[in-house]
Amino acid sequence: MFVSPLLAIGLAPLLASAAPSWSVGPTTDYATKAGNKICNVLNYDGVADNSTDIGPAISSAWDDCKSDGVVYIPSGDYALESWVTLSGGKSTAIRMDGTIYRTGSDGGNMIFIEHTSDFELFSSNSEGAVQGFGYEFHKDGSLSGPRILRLYEVTDFSVHDLILVDAPAFHFSLDTCSNGEVYNMAIRGGDSGGLDGIDVWSDEMWIHDVEVTNKDECVTVKSPSKSILVENIYCNWSGGCAMGSLSTDVDISDITYRNIYTWSSNQMYMIKSNGGSGTVSGLVLENFIGYGNAYSLDIDQAWSSMSMTDGDGVQLENITISNWKGTEADGAQRGPIKVNCASGAPCKDITIKDFEMWTEEGDYQTYICNSAYGSGACLQDGDDYTEYSTTVTVTSVPTGYSAATMAGDLSTAFGTDSVIPIPTIPTSFYPGATPYSVLAVQASSSA
């Protein structure tokens, strides 16, 4: 069997020194899988005519290549009317170089991959895309359509060089997965809540070099999760990154967000809950740049958009926020620091340092801290952990708040009543940071 240069080099990322300490990604390289067997959907009655349902062809190709093989979707335009559930894969890959357009109207998940290990989902030309045409639901005020992509109990995997556009509901969910890497992606959704970019509740994950446009979560961690590194993220007119919503029996630990750029979004980072129980510990939020966002740092354990849940509050502890720069939209109305902790579960061991942000409107900004203990900003030191409330008014402009912007910053959001165009994957996701992996198409051309 002929093996192209792309297959010969595989698509292993060009790692930098800040990669996570745990293992991520497939355990078998792509070239080995492709050398065993390739199942081209065109040989399973698939047709690139943007009319014939490609769902049955993908399912049939998966059945033949889900062990030690590759499902191949060549360049072209495909219709997806019936959703696909791909289960039980081992040492397999899906190479999606074409564009899939949603034509079905069911809820659920357009592409659902479960109980699979040693897996790779990618586009070798960095142009593979799924167009969800979510506006057809949203223009009528409906969020009842499907998610685009969901992985459940998938281990030792990577998803990269894909474009997800205009999901009727969430774009990409990582549910109870482990040892996974997600990178070199562009996600573009409508200007509405309920259209999350990437949601993850999993262990030992590395999510990096991703752009998200929507008006809900950019990249969010939910419970239960541990050992997750999120970095080089471009929230470009989005809801912003977050943790939660957190409810009862929360179990989240060792989460790092690093190199996060947020433009004209709801917030730079939010932890949201209302009541509840359990613990969040070992959270690091470092190297954040933001401009024109409604909120910046927003820890809110009385989040009004969430119904009250049983419990005295989620215990937040050992959280470090460092090196934040840029501007918020209106610092008097919504100051850049809000740490509103539950009186029944005061925050412990919070550190805020090198935090230099300023307001775009007016000449002062506020910091709000409630029942939050640690050092920096309006936090209270000590270990009595009693309830308190304080607001600090800041009138002096920080000397180091200025930071670089991104060339791709959008001038307006995408609406909810017309087609959202398919973008290209950017080659930069945070000012001054080189992506950890070149795009697959660049790797192919240089091989």
CA-based nearest residue to 264, from 395, 366, 405: 405
Which residues of the chain register pLDDT less than 50? Answer: 1-17
The residues near 33 (Cβ < 8 Å, ≥ 6 apart) are: 68, 69, 70, 91, 92, 93, 120
Global confidence as pTM:
0.95
Share of the chain above pLDDT 70, in %: 96
Residue 316's identity, in one-letter code, is L
Query: Where are the alpha helices (H) located in 66-216, listed in sequence order?
Result: 135-138
Q: In order of start, what are the domains of the chain with their CATH numbers?
A: 24-215 (2.160.20.10), 224-407 (2.160.20.10)
Give CA–CA dist 236/202, Å, rounded.
25
Q: Which residues contact 140 (CB under 8 A, 6 or more apart)?
A: none
